[in-house]
Chain A
Amino acid sequence: MNRIRLFFRYGNIGYLFVLPAMLYMLALVGYPIVSNFILSVQDVTVTTLNAPVKPFVGLRNYRMLFADGVLQTSLVNTFVFTCCCIVFQFIIGFALALFFNRDFSFAKPIRGLLMIPWMIPMTVTALMFKFMFSSNVGIINQFLQSWGMIGQPIEWLLQPQLAMFSLIVANIWIGIPFNMILISTGLTTIPPELNEAAAIDGANKRQSFFYITLPMLKPVIESVLLLGFIYTFKVFDLVFVMTNGGPVNSTHLLSTYSYKLSFTLFKYSQGAATANILFIILFAVSVMYLRFVYDDKGAA
């Protein structure tokens, strides 16, 4: 007892304050990660789910996944999906943010309206795009055909590459407002005096954008890209509803493939292994981001 009192006397009381947060993190973040990892090195399927002792198989689940082939497809898909989405979401979102940053009438209400895609539940959006991309009755083919741009209906969701393309288009549409609003907020923090001073010194629009706006926005851009990466990388509902990984497993992402392994095929351990791969990648990205932030602080 005395020792404990001594421990806290010397400025260590801070440990007590972080204790609740630590416990919370341990229970709700740490435990699932550890238990998921354990699951992925066991062999848990329908037959062993309720067994008291689960057989340990080491890295066999990972080897089997890589041998099967769908995992590679979903890995590639996940990266292609994320990169394409982020690039376009970011550029379009940035452009819109700059546009609405100019002071014209209705700028604010219209910017608010543009948030709608972000507010619609993902499942609704996914169903909407599924109907729009339908090859026989979809509005997209209808338009393209009536404008004479295509002769035969395009099989948007029925061809592997086109299905992936359709998913990316849908997700870009969803992600633009998120990028736009964060960058807009960032823009308002740049004091107008900076641009005015630059203008007086003879800088043109392009120069003040590249030498004032962009550098001032760097922290905002970093967090937008990181959050965007995480949101996009683990997207699930959109793909689940629009294609459910089809046609022929060609549009599976790591998230949907993991779901399928666990809850359709009951290969719980392989599902967990896939989820772990997803986790490791996201973890690496987050660590990289933290390094960036620290480096910035160190330099400043």
Chain B
Amino acid sequence: MKKGFRTVCVILAACALFSSGAFAQSKTTVTIWNYWETPKHQETLARVCKDFNDSQGKIEVVTKYIPFADFKKQLSIGAAASELPDIVIIDNPDHASYSGMGIFADITDKMASWPDLKQYFDGPLNSCKLNGRLYGLPFGSNCLSLFYNEDMLKAANCQPPKTWDDLKSVALKTTKGKVHGFGISSVQNEEGTFGFLCWLWGTGNSSFKINDANGIKALSLVRDLVKSGAMPKEVINWTQGDTMNQFISGNLAMMVNGPWQVPTMREQAPNLKWNVVQLPIGKKAASDLGGENFGVVKGDKVDESLAFLKFVASPAEMKTYINDFGYIASRKDVAATQFTNDAVMKVFSAQMASAQPRGPHPRWPEISDALSLAMNESLTGIATPEAAAAKAQKTIDSIVGTK
């Protein structure tokens, strides 16, 4: 009897295996690479893919996580070895590099008939273009603003800073014992550049101009913050996630960070009293346009990929995930409906007005490296802001060409 039962089980299992195998074969698999590290983002992305997979029977979308630090490496190795996914979710300043490399498919003509394209904001959509051709779609946008710990500022009798001078003095007043007044991720890579550019642009400069009074002023700001002890020198080893962790652990009174941290912060530190204001202003208001784009990889699955993109970009679907990501929608009609009851996220929406995209330039990584190097040199005191600026400018000019 027992033996018979077992046989039945085996047969059933074999049938199940066989049928599911046959089922999977009839579907086209579309692979998406992404680098979102927080579990919340991963869960939401998985849910969106499931929505799509359930909505039709022909295409199966699967996601693959690759750490941010490895992402570009994997992508360029993949390009050289022709082992690429079908869609990548990519940091917007890199889009031009990869379009230039010839990895992404030109979808201009295929998308021309799609009426929703008009709904996109110009900034994010332009970051998907190279020489007027479209190579992807924006996923969502974000920007940087200033987070502050309400209790700490109150204890130091301070208002949230509005200017750079305010920032320096409030940061100094709130620095006490283990608590530092201010922190911003300053790693020597794209993440650090991202943080530094809002100071550089705040002086009125472009991403390509640093060796002048303005650029030196921006570099001096970071140096002064560290020199006075208000900002820990360790920010050169902090990612944006690390900075957020320091903030919710009560080691920072203020930080510059983005809206994508908000869902996690609410979850992990429900009792922390914090708020967000727009970034302190130097000469003019400036923030960094962040966010990801969908890049459609060249190959035989472009149509399937586009079917997925059109699905996730539809207003109905976008509304289900964009808030969970802590992103501001790249579509005007969806953005208008976002955050009507969320004071914190409204600040980021408002900050978007002054957010600029980085670059764009196919050799942006090299320019970005020169900028983050200059910022690190001034921050650690290894070089004066003047020397750092001159060196960075030399590198940038050799890439962009002096005008």
Contacts and interface: CB of A to CB of B under 8 A. Distances in A.
Contacts of A265: 365-366, 369
Nearest to B226: A158
A188 interface: no
Contacts of A245: 188
A46 B363 contact: yes
Contact of A249 (B101, B232, B373): B373
Interface string A155-185: 1011110000000000000000000000000
B365 A246 contact: no
Nearest to B383: A248
A158 B376 contact: no
Given A50-B101, A160-B382, A265-B366, A136 B178 contact: yes
Contacts of B72: 263-264, 266
Interface of B: 72-73, 76, 79-80, 97-98, 100-103, 178, 187-189, 232-234, 236-237, 251, 362-363, 365-366, 369, 373, 376-377, 380, 382-383
Nearest to B298: A50
27 contacts: A46-B97, A47-B362, A47-B363, A49-B102, A50-B79, A135-B232, A136-B234, A158-B234, A158-B237, A158-B380, A245-B188, A246-B236, A247-B188, A247-B376, A247-B380, A248-B377, A249-B188, A249-B373, A262-B76, A263-B72, A263-B73, A264-B365, A265-B365, A266-B72, A266-B363, A266-B365, A266-B366
Interface in A42-98: 45-47, 49-50
Nearest to A69: B391
Contacts of A248: 188, 373, 376-377, 380, 382-383
A158 B233 contact: yes
Given A136-B234, A160-B382, A49 B76 contact: yes
Contact of B234 (A49, A50, A134, A243): A134
Which A-B residue pairs are the 8 nearest by beta carbons? Answer: A263-B73, A50-B102, A158-B233, A248-B376, A247-B380, A46-B101, A248-B382, A46-B97
Given A263-B73, A264-B369, A266-B365, A247 B101 contact: no
Given A45-B363, A264-B365, A155 B233 contact: yes
B363 A246 contact: no
Given A244-B189, A266-B365, 20 more contacts: A45-B363, A46-B97, A46-B363, A50-B102, A135-B233, A136-B234, A244-B187, A246-B236, A246-B237, A246-B376, A247-B188, A247-B236, A248-B188, A248-B373, A248-B376, A248-B382, A249-B188, A264-B72, A265-B366, A265-B369
Interface in A241-267: 243-250, 259, 262-267
A239 to B, nearest CB: 13
A5 to B, nearest CB: 42
Contacts of A267: 366
Contacts of A160: 382
Contacts of B365: 264-266
Contacts of B232: 135-136
Binding site of B, secondary structure by majority: helix, strand, loop or mixed?
A: helix
Contacts of B377: 248
A26 to B, nearest CB: 20
Contacts of B366: 265-267
Given A46-B97, A47-B362, A264 B189 contact: yes
B382 A247 contact: yes
Interface in A131-155: 134-136, 155
How large, as a class, is the contact surface on chain A?
20 to 34
A241 B170 CA distance: 34
Nearest to A70: B373
A78 B369 CA distance: 22
A151 to B, nearest CB: 15
Given A46-B100, A134-B234, A246-B237, A266 B76 contact: yes
A248 B73 CA distance: 21
B380 A266 contact: no
Most buried by B among A46, A243, A247, A264: A46
A135 B234 CA distance: 8
A155 B188 CA distance: 17
Nearest to B178: A136
B101 A157 contact: no
Contacts of A268: 76
A203 B234 CA distance: 57
B107 to A, nearest CB: 18
A109 to B, nearest CB: 38
A50 B232 CA distance: 43
Contacts of B380: 158-159, 247-248
Nearest to A249: B373
A47 B98 CA distance: 9
A130 B239 CA distance: 14
B146 to A, nearest CB: 22
A77 B366 CA distance: 23
Given A136-B232, A158-B236, A248-B188, A47 B376 contact: no
A265 B79 CA distance: 15
Nearest to A157: B237
A72 to B, nearest CB: 16
B73 A47 contact: no
A136 B251 CA distance: 10
Contacts of A264: 72, 189, 365, 369
A130 B237 CA distance: 10
B168 to A, nearest CB: 20
A160 B382 CA distance: 9
Contacts of B383: 248
Contact of B76 (A155, A249, A263): A263
Given A46-B363, A248-B188, A248-B376, A266 B382 contact: no
Contacts of B76: 49, 262-263, 266, 268
A63 to B, nearest CB: 14
B274 to A, nearest CB: 21
A47 B96 CA distance: 10
B181 to A, nearest CB: 14
Contacts of B363: 45-47, 266
A249 B376 CA distance: 10
A129 B232 CA distance: 19
B382 A49 contact: no
A274 to B, nearest CB: 15
B237 to A, nearest CB: 6
